[in-house]
Structure 1
Amino acid sequence: MDSPILHFITPPIPYFIDCGRAYYEAGEYHISRSDIGVFDLIVVTRGSLAISENGTEWLLEQGEALILKPDGHHYGYAACNEATEMIWIHFQTYGSWRESSNMDECLANQTELIKTHKVSAYLNHCDVCSIFIPKHTRITTKDIELLEHFSQLDQEPQSMRNWKRQASFQQFMQHMDLGLSSLSDVAAIRIAEKVELYIRQNYPLPISNPMLQKELNYHPNYLARSMLKVYGMTPMEYLLHYRIEQAKKLLLQTAWPVARIAEEIGFNHVSYFSSCFAKREGISPSNFRSKFTNTETNSTTHSELML
């Protein structure tokens, strides 16, 4: 089933807000509303529902799901021709997202969306990845069971109910994400994930394209194409990206000298590390540390105490 794709950058993962059921008699319409401020996941469990978003129309049959955007105009474009029931879930995200027409468009815009995410989201020194959710899809029996679980949680105390609903929602979204991935280039995704995992586990080592070829048994050109398709960067670009992200963590979490941090993350020369860091972050490693930890203030106070 061809469908636009909602592309979310995470963390943070889209989070659950509220859920419920809605019923329509024959002849009734879905309500008209605009800019509701949350994503609205609709799953028809009985009958059919005619709904439009910004002029695009869908006729949802039993077992079909649609995600409406928080900034759109949603309305029923035709009356229900029979008794209809649906489950709705409201959710939102603090991260960057966009709607794309297909997976190729998602991957082509991934690097730009990640850059936007790092500016708008509160996470400035954390790995990020993508979640791809079909806007319109037919869901599985397993997904229906997860959704039915939301109603069962009404019997739980509120404190437990909210935790369990969030966990069930994330499991549901994960199923949708994995289901869509299986429709794309599965081989490229799996290879890219192997490269990414190898780099994460071995980044302090002198990793090179020949080393990746030997370890993963694929030609460097194929590894590069797979990484570009999935992560928007080559293996060596991802290695540099990951090392810099680890450096940022060490700068904020330790008092190690910059030279030691450079060595710990795989750089042979501190000057080269500083140059790469400044090129990517627009600030030197030392100034990055001072900006977030008040190192200069702490050093001054310590010196005064020694006098």
Structure 2
Amino acid sequence: MLVLEIPVPPLPLIATVGHTLWPPGIVHARRQFDAFDIIICVKGTLYMEENGIPYDIKEGMVLVLEPEKMHRGYQPTDTETEVYWIHFQYPGFPQPALIDKTNWQQPLLNRTDQDIEVHPGMVDIPKFTTIDLRQILPLLTEMIHVHSMLSATRSYELQILFGRFLLELQYSMRNRSPQARSLSLGEQVATYLTEHLEQPFDATEMENDLHYHFDYLARCLKQYSGMSPLQYRHHLQIERAKQLLAHSELSIIQIGTRCGFNDNNYFTRLFKRHTSFTPGEFRKRYQFIVLD
């Protein structure tokens, strides 16, 4: 699927949002400007062209027009057509790239609860696709309302609503991708491993609880996160151990047990492999509390 891949931060920022109901016979104006233009059709069909490429934006579809590209209506509306539009800017450099995306993997980022630098992220906006209007329309209605009485404070509120709108576009796009089922199951596996971290790893029990063969569950998690179940579990264990070492008075053996390690030597080796510190060294360096 063609998507605009937007690195964040900085965040894409909305400039305006609008709504109109066009009778039959209307042709969209020819224009070119320095902003992204999202067009959402909720009734009828809008016939648009961008740099010579035609798009029939039917009910329940969205098209993103790109800055500096010439767009225009190439054919009059033949029925009553209702559309919303959003103009937004991306203040970063370089500008978002249009790519053919096939990989929807969600690898985990290395993070702690003491981070002071912002973690890099990505927003994917579909170029042209079908969307779920049941989720999108309430947001558009609220954005129109806020925009109609815009103030400095409500301008910030509008930006937050726009962020939610972009998230809904991503969810809708992912749920319609060929990998939707495996990604959803991969997310279930990730949640399962998180909730069962203190118990011993048991592939058979996971099969019984999630009702799929373990090999298939492992493939889905790999597609979702880039990790095998054991790799994902180890990542979760180390992250929980780091938090307990920094924020609790529990002994290292107790922490290992709470993170699902029955063998303290194995816990120490794995922790050092992932962090380059032993648990004791990590505690001395990062402990947040002072022990008497």
Scaled by the length of structure 1, the TM-score of the pair is: 0.66
Post-superposition shift, 1:204?
0.4
Residue aligned with 2:67, SS: strand
Q: For residues 206 and 47 of structure 2, what CA distance do their matches in structure 1 show?
A: 51
Preserved contact between residue 44 and residue 60 of structure 1 (Cα < 8 Å): no
2:101 is aligned with what amino acid?
Answer: N
Aligned to 1:155: 149
SS at match of 1:159: helix
Partner SS for 1:76: coil
What pairs with 1:4-83 in structure 2 (closer than 5 Å)? 4-5=2-3, 17-21=13-17, 28-31=30-33, 33=34, 40=36, 42-43=38-39, 47-51=46-50, 59=55, 61=57, 64-67=61-64, 74-77=67-70, 79-81=72-74
Going from structure 1 to structure 2, the CA distance change for 1:77 and 1:265 (only over 3 Å counts) comes to: same
Aligned partner of 2:128 in structure 1 is 136
> Does residue 134 of structure 2 align to residue 146 of structure 1?
no
Unaligned runs of 5+ in 1: 303-307
Q: 1:235 to 1:102 in 2, by over 3 A?
A: same
- Paired residue for 2:100? 101
- Whether the aligned pair in 2 keeps the contact of 1:50 and 1:76 (CA below 8 Å) is no
Q: What per-residue deviation string (whole Å, max 9, x for no partner) do you get for residues 204-245 of structure 1?
A: 011221221232232221111121122222222211111112
SS at match of 2:262: coil
Paired residue for 1:250? 244
How far apart, in 1, do the equivalents of 2:98 and 2:69 lie? 21
Q: Secondary structure at the residue paired with 1:218?
A: coil
CA 98–155 in structure 1, closer or farther in 2 if over 3 Å, else same? same
TM-superposed deviation, 1:16: 6.3
Output the CA distance in 1 between the equivalents of 2:268 and 2:6. Answer: 32
Residue of structure 2 in register with 1:210 after alignment: 204
Counterpart amino acid of residue 269 in structure 2: S
Q: 1:80/1:222 Cα in 2 relative to 1: closer, same or farther (>3 Å)?
A: closer
C-alpha contact 1:278 1:285 (8 A) present in aligned 2: yes
Instruction: Check conservation: 1:41, 1:65, Cα contact below 8 A.
Output: no
Sequence identity of aligned pairs in percent? Answer: 17
**1:192–1:227: 8 Å Cα contact kept in structure 2?**
yes
**CA-to-aligned-CA distance 1:238-291 (integer Å, 9 cap, x gap):** 111111121222223223332221111111122211221222233333333444
Structure 1 residues 123, 288: closer, same or farther in 2, change over 3 A? farther
Q: How high is the TM-score relative to the length of structure 2?
A: 0.69
The amino acid of 1:30's aligned partner reads Q
Contact persistence 1:44–1:87 (CA under 8 A): yes
Q: Which structure features the higher share of helix residues?
A: 1
Q: 1:203 Cα deviation (Å)?
A: 0.7
Paired positions, count: 270
2:88 aligned with 1:90, yes or no?
yes
Q: Please point out which of 190, 196, 211 is paired with 2:190.
A: 196
User: 1:166-224: CA deviations, max 9, x gaps?
Assistant: 14641552254134323323432333233222212111011221221232232221111
Equivalent residue letter for 1:90: F
Q: In the superposition, relative to structure 1, how do residues 171 and 77 fare at CA in structure 2: closer, same or farther (>3 Å)?
A: closer
Are the structure 2 counterparts of residues 164 and 289 from structure 1 closer, same or farther at C-alpha, using a change threshold of 3 Å?
farther
Correspondence for 1:170 among 164, 167, 191: 164
Q: Which string of whole-angstrom CA distances, capped at 9 and with x for unpartnered residues, describes residues 93-140 of structure 1?
A: 99xx9865233x343xx54xx55999996359xxx9x87653322444
Q: Does the Cα contact within 8 Å between 1:48 and 1:82 map onto a contact in 2?
A: yes
The separation in 2 between residues aligned to 1:93 and 1:208, in whole angstroms, is 48
For residues 27 and 67 of structure 1, the distance between their equivalents in structure 2, rounded to whole angstroms, comes to: 16
Specify the alignment match of 1:305 in structure 2: none
Alpha carbons 2:63, 2:129 under 8 Å: kept? yes
Do the aligned partners of 1:13 and 1:93 also contact (CA within 8 Å) in 2? no
Task: Say yes or no: does 1:264 pair with 2:263.
Answer: no
User: What corresponds to 2:270 in structure 1?
Assistant: 276
Q: Are residues 1:226 and 2:223 paired?
A: no
